[in-house]
Structure 1
């Protein structure tokens, strides 16, 4: 036994149909309904709605079978394409590129699927052609729909289009023996939207969703007569259609435009109308629409009797998804086994993208490995070519170090040794440039005042602040006395004294110590 569940989540109710097919060929259909509180769109708590859906499915044990949901046509881009071939695989490859120029979005941002409605008859010598109905769903919208369903613990087997589900119901009624017309207009009037499916030669020709539903009429009546929404809904169901005729006119006008577009394109006029959905319960509403649109409302003779699923048409059509339930009742109808699975297209796109990312990663890794190999080869080449130059530079650096620093340093101590030399040299410079100890001017005055006769050899010089201590040697004691007198004549020297004057070990050698105070600058 094969089984599937169609789940139609509306603004005012949750509807579900469980369709079972036994091995003997007998079908079993069960209908389930859960009303929702009447709220404005901005007041609907999506988390609460997800909780209600979850409890609804658990209470009726519907989550055990594959579940099919739908997106409304107003959230999609639907196009008909004529392709010069009939190969399904080739069609799947070509359709996304054909749609890229027909939709105001990047092809990367949509999930695209095409359904081959039929192949056109060709004459000998001409190429075969196929008629394809393409749906492009924004991936963001599709992901939000699946995310909402996951919150309700629903993992749909397929995501179809609501208007195409109406076509599946019509085909089911045809398979049960109804004299369903080849050209038929199907209107499913819900609480907030009306879904249109125009059928031409047993194939869906136009799928559309209009932003008009039964709630618009309820709100208009409540505002006109100062009723509550609940009372307006109750009075609407009890009254005749003439009560809200002026507010139904926008729906009539939109449907009439769709019929005119159909007639202009096909040169054929639709003559029959079937009205389903919750809005069909409005008294004499189907007859009123048929009169306004100049269409004949189908009845039991065409297979649309009292047992036809008027309020559950979308849910039943979803349960009849051919890729979930199979195609037994559709097998003989050309182009009838139709059903989108936009979820698969989303996952297929993600899988393809994942493969592309994986391939890009592999190629990037290969490229990186090549770059690394080239880099290593380049470094090795430079090392080989510059090895001698490095040795020469090292020898030149060592020679410069010997000249500038002096001495031999152990490997690793060159910097420390050079730093020590720099510190020592800095202290000497600081001493020479000191403002308190005029070293250079004092030495200049000292040299200038030394007698020109005789020999003076300085053995040591000590300067501590303004005090200067000079240890020197000359050839006689008279020379020592002349040096002292010469320094006394210098205005910058004070407290001049000679001490420790003695005869040295060499002939004509007198060693003495001279102290004086030098004035600061």
Structure 2
């Protein structure tokens, strides 16, 4: 099912509604249109009730607009082009230029031109006006889209592509108010709201003709010849204000030439002498606008039969407004809720972020201190191990891994103590002592006082009866299967008796 969009133009005298459905990308089909006089229904609430008695209008997405008279428009120049910076600073730039507090308005803007600076056209809408308009429709429609501004949506559709010529002007003349939208090269540069409308024109004609209001309105619609529009005070005032606005825009450099084209809409624009006077005043062609003539608008025959372009242009522009903002200005209370939430919780979030950052820094500091403490302790233990290694292994020339080297030394000492080495792992000290004891000559006095086994060399020191006994011991030990050679070292005759003290080295067989 195609989603339908209701464009609702809330005027001073009537509600204008257009119902459109999107049938393909960029193309809309107009399936309904209504005009409900406000005065005949007892006011705006009654007119809305009557409008939504039509079931086609209920429950759809509604697009409407705020009156331009409620909006403050300002031209600004900001010294940067970055969109983020513009959004962050535009409220501060607008604050001294509007009559109410910055917290009481919603702000939107369009960028007119960017060079060294950005030329901005900004609008500030009171939050109360936005909420009032949204509350008026919330019970009748499914969704209320962001609000536009009277006249700007139609100008966006008419002049959105822009031209290389001068400034283009859309004048929307309602019953009592007139909105003028100035567009230069596809960019909205100014919006003015004037206290002028079809009712003021009719009152001036009634006074000129000397007839009542109703008769003057009837003659005006029949385009009966009357005084020139420039001679009617309300029309003359409107023309003067428009000229002053054009002069202001030229003086500020927003436009290079004057007005190149004027299009009119609204019920008050049906007065032909006013269109002629506008053409003479600005030396520009004036055309009645009809958005239904656009190639992207398809209209049902029943709707075409009752179509009144001057009355329904604004409602049609709202119903066919795309998702892209274009050069329009829009206001959404939903966006402001997010902004309010950020303002409300932003400070708390910043404090929470600062607390988390402090907590993280404290955690990192604690981890670093733990690491440094462990590192200092580890260094101290290494130094103590190195000192112990040097103490018990002074012959070590190179220290790489004291603990491993000490363990290797202890293993080597254990092997030596057991009479084992890498080449003869089965030779034990007990085996050596057994052979010495067994091979010693019988009847020879032999007393061993020292025994060492190191690097496959057994060194014994002892006492024998005489020198011949020492030689006999050597000969017998040489017969052992364990010893490769037996060498007698120093031999000394003791002072008392004939006993001899000797040293003897026995090399183990490999």
Q: Same fold (TM over 0.5)?
A: yes
Q: Is the 8 A contact 1:241 1:283 kept in 2?
A: no
Pick one of 323, 327, 333 that aligns with 1:326.
Answer: 323
- Are 1:216 and 2:213 matched, yes or no? no
Does the alignment pair 1:199 with 2:199? no
Q: Is the 8 A contact 2:147 2:331 kept in 1?
A: yes
Residue 275 of structure 1 deviates from its aligned partner by 1.2
Gaps of 5+ in 2: 295-303, 353-510
2:244 to 257, 263, 269: 257
Q: TM-score, normalised by structure 2?
A: 0.57
C-alpha displacement at 1:308, in angstroms? Answer: 9.7
Structure 2 Cα separation of the partners of residues 316 and 290 of structure 1: 26
Alignment correspondent of 2:82: 87
For residues 319 and 231 of structure 1, what CA distance do their matches in structure 2 show?
35
Structure number with bigger Rg: 2
- 2:258 is matched with which residue? 269
- Work out the CA distance in 2 between the residues paired with 1:346 and 1:148: 18
The Cα of 1:278 is off from its aligned counterpart by 0.9
Compute the displacement of 1:212 (Å).
0.5
Contact kept in structure 2, 1:50 and 1:149, CA below 8 Å: no
SS at match of 1:104: coil
The answer to whether the aligner puts 1:162 opposite 2:146 as a matched pair is: no
1:280 to 261, 265, 269: 269
1:188 is matched with which residue?
172
Partner of 1:62: 57
- 2:48 corresponds to 1:53: yes
* Contact persistence 1:11–1:36 (CA under 8 A): no
| CA deviation string 1:454-513 (max 9, x = no partner) | xxxxxxxxxxxxxxxxxxxxxxxxxxxxxxxxxxxxxxxxxxxxxxxxxxxxxxxxxxxx
Residue 237 of structure 1, CA deviation: 0.8
1:239 match: secondary structure: coil
Secondary structure at the counterpart of residue 275 of structure 2: helix
Does structure 1 retain, via aligned residues, the 8 Å contact 2:108–2:329? no
Q: How many pairs does the alignment contain?
A: 336
Alignment of 1:377-456 (within 5 A): none
Distance 2:291 2:132 in 1: 39
Partners in 1 of 2:87 and 2:337 — Cα distance? 15
User: After superposition, where does 1:13-412 map in structure 2 within 5 Å?
Assistant: 13-23=14-24, 25-30=26-31, 32-36=33-37, 48-59=43-54, 61-120=56-115, 129-150=117-138, 156-171=144-159, 183-222=167-206, 227-240=211-224, 242-243=226-227, 245=229, 246-247=232-233, 248-266=235-253, 267-298=256-287, 309-321=309-321, 325-327=322-324, 336=326, 338-352=328-342, 354-355=344-345
**Structure 1 residues 300, 145: CA separation in 2 closer, same or farther (over 3 Å shift)?**
closer
Deviations 1:396-442 (A, max 9, x none): xxxxxxxxxxxxxxxxxxxxxxxxxxxxxxxxxxxxxxxxxxxxxxx
The two structures have a TM-score, normalised by structure 1, of 0.56
- 1:16 shift after superposition: 1.8
Where does the alignment leave 5 or more consecutive residues of structure 1 unmatched?
A: 121-127, 331-335, 363-521
Q: Which residue of 1 aligns with 2:11?
A: 10
Residue aligning to 1:399: none
**Is the contact between residue 107 and residue 122 of structure 2 (CA under 8 Å) also seen in structure 1?**
yes
Cα drift, residue 206 of structure 1: 0.8
Q: Which residue of 2 aligns with 1:443?
A: none
- Give the Cα separation in 1 of the matches to 2:176 and 2:290: 31
Question: The residue matched to 1:272 in structure 2 has which SS?
Answer: strand
3-state SS in 2 of match to 1:63: coil
TM-fit CA distance, 1:170: 0.8
* Per-residue deviation, 1:194: 0.7
Instruction: Please say if residues 50 and 152 of structure 1, whose CA atoms lie closer than 8 Å, have aligned partners that are also in contact.
Output: no
Query: Within 1, Cα distance between the matches of 2:191 and 2:217?
Result: 28
For 1:313 and 1:300, the matched residues in 2 are separated by: 8
CA-based RMSD = 3.8
Q: Deviations over 1:126-167 (max 9, x none)?
A: xx5433221111223333333444476685211111132132
